[in-house]
Amino acid sequence: MKKLNLFILFSFCFSIITWGQANFAAIDSLIKKELPQGSEVGISVYDLTARKTLYTYRDTKLSRPASTMKLLTTITALARPDADEPFRTEVWYKGTIEHDTLRGDIYVVGGFDPEFDDEGMNALVEEVITFPFSVLKGNIYGDISMKDSLYWGSGWAWDDTPSSFQPYLSPLMYHKGMVKVTAVPGATRGDSARLSFEPSSSYYTVTNETKTRTSSAGKFSVSRGWLENKNNLIVSGNVENRRIGDVNVYSSQDFFMHTFVERLRNKGIEISNHYAFDSFRSDSLSICMARWECPVQDVIDQIMKESDNLSAEALLCRLGARATGKKQVSAKDGIEEIHRLIQDLGHDPDNYKIADGCGLSNYDYLSPALLVDFLKFAYSRTDIFRKLYKALPVAGIDGTLKNRMKQGAAFKNVHAKTGSYTAINTLAGYLKMANGHQVAFAIMNQNILSAAKARNFQNKVCEILANHQ
């Protein structure tokens, strides 16, 4: 009798454990029938409302996360008490102003604002020229002491430059360290296209090798002499209609400072010396001339909606700077903070590999289970979830999910971060099932050369989850 009771109890417990998996047999079928041969996938699904695991498939298997790595960076940063402190760029001077002359030095202090653009640059310049001087007898310094001198993340591909998604990192970023080029066809076939550039700066030169409506000119492209670290923009190829391209520029801090000094001169400030770089040390004689601030939510929106690598690395650097309180922080300082949260969530940080903040590194390795635990943690903290959720791309509506899941139960329902890299495609975020329960999920496709097939697989998994009663 005792054995029979134990058997019944075991059978009952087993049925409870397997019930959830059985209800998602359609996902098992997808894996068997639609996962391309030679590729792999890991899946984790958790019911946030019922607080239970709904489905797992190789959920602890290590995988390269691509841009879903940005979830860990963002959630860790938002968990800090000072999470709402804005990114700041400041201009200070040391010296005296007498008879229309500033005798002293000007410092531009970088706070790694990844969204600093023409509006910010012009605002700083306009504030500086309100001070009663038109001649500078001294130097202009850029302070880039916030971080170390490594301008790329560990494991980033050297030949991804001059792509704009891999900028040269610096505490003084301007226009995301890139130039946007717009080409418009000329008046007649064979003419050079008309080019415009954003932002405008003499920091770079331009060679126009385009041809209007001339197919033999080849594909439209924007590049530069990146192997020689040159900023000679080369725009070439056929321009049938309006075309847009972009390219990163070498040495982001020089791009910033060159443009800053150039615009001061354009406003009538006489500057005898060029700029240099040095650390600013505040004292009783230091005067703040200008300050530009960027709300953290703006940066989070860029990280999530547009999968902006620069914004994620800036957030990682700031995370390290806030945690350590030191100068010359490295990516490792920010990564240590992510490791601490991993440990707080019950995982061993040594079981994973994190090399950067954005997922561009070839060295990053996470698991679906870890991603879901970060999503669960964010959901449990209203202050974090509110900021994260509104920044996530919405299926069929905006961001990197704008052209996905444009119909069905997943449409406008899935709020998730995408990840895409060569042979890697990932998706992690939230959705609501038909029974009203909120779900956190992670899908990590690996070794899959067709991004379209991976996205189609993920879309179907989300549709199955969204239709679940």
Q: What is the DSSP string of 77-133?
A: HHTSTTTTPPEEEEEEEEEEEETTEEEEEEEEE----TT--HHHHHHHHHHHTTSS-
Is 445 within 8 Å of 425 (Cβ atoms)? yes
Give the per-residue pLDDT at 187.
95
What confidence tens digit (pLDDT) does each residue in 156-207 have?
Answer: 999 999 999 999 999 999 999 999 999 999 999 999 999 999 999 999 999 9
Q: 161-167, long-range: CB within 8 Å, 24+ apart, which pairs?
A: 161/226, 161/248, 162/223, 162/224, 162/226, 162/247, 162/248, 163/247, 163/248, 164/246, 164/247, 164/248, 165/309, 165/360, 166/248, 166/309, 166/360, 167/248, 167/252, 167/309, 167/310
Q: How far is CA 163 from CA 65, 204, 405, in A?
A: 20, 16, 28
Query: For 12-37, what is the mean pLDDT?
Result: 71
By percentage, how much of the chain surpasses pLDDT 70?
A: 95
Structure tokens at 189: 């076939």
> Angle at Cα 340 formed by Cα 337 and Cα 345, nearest 5°?
130
CA distances to 312, 334, 439, 440, 452 from 398, in Å: 19, 29, 20, 20, 18
Can you tell me the mean pLDDT for 325-338? 97
The confidence score (pLDDT) of residue 284 equals: 87
pLDDT of res. 353: 98
Provide the pLDDT confidence category of residue 260 given band limits of 50, 70 and 90. very high
d(CA 114, CA 177): 9
Of 254, 255, 236, nearest to 245 by C-alpha is: 236
| 282 CA to centre of own chain | 32
Amino acid at 17: I
pLDDT tens-digit map of 150-168:
999 999 999 999 999 999 9
Q: Is the pTM of this model over 0.75?
A: yes
- What is the DSSP track for 5-49? HHHHHHHHHHHHHHHHHHTTHHHHHHHHHHSPTT-EEEEEEEETT
Our CA angle for 41, 44, 48, nearest 5°, is 160
Residue 409 banded pLDDT, cuts 50, 70, 90: very high
Q: How far apart are CA 134 and CA 172, in angstroms?
A: 25
* Strand order through the sheet with 232-239: 205-212, 232-239, 221-223
List domains and CATH numbers for the chain: 22-83+298-466 (3.40.710.10), 87-149+252-292 (3.50.80.20), 158-248 (no CATH)
- What is the tens place of the pLDDT at every residue in 273-296? 889 999 999 998 899 999 999 999
Among left, alpha and beta (phi > 0; psi -120 to 50; other), residue 155 is: left
Q: What pLDDT, on the 0 to 100 scale, is given for residue 274?
A: 87
- Over residues 23-43, mean pLDDT: 94
In this prediction, residue 21 carries a pLDDT of 52
What pLDDT, on the 0 to 100 scale, is given for residue 112? 99
d(CA 203, CA 207): 14
- If you average pLDDT over every residue of the chain, what do you get? 95
Helices and strands (DSSP H and E) totals, the chain: 11, 18
Q: What pLDDT shows up at residue 469?
A: 87
Instruction: Write the DSSP assignment of 144-198 as a string of letters.
Output: -TTB-S--S-TT--GGGTTSTTS----SS-SGGGEEEEEEE--SSTTSPPEEEEE
Q: Which of 240, 255, 40, 39 is nearest to 142 (CA)?
A: 255
pLDDT interval class at 93 (50, 70, 90): very high
Give 296's contacts (C-beta < 8 A, 6+ positions apart): 77, 83, 84, 85, 86, 87, 387
Is it the case that residue 19 has pLDDT exceeding 70? no
Percentage of residues in the chain with pLDDT exceeding 90?
93
Q: Which two tokens stand for residue 250?
A: 């070498």
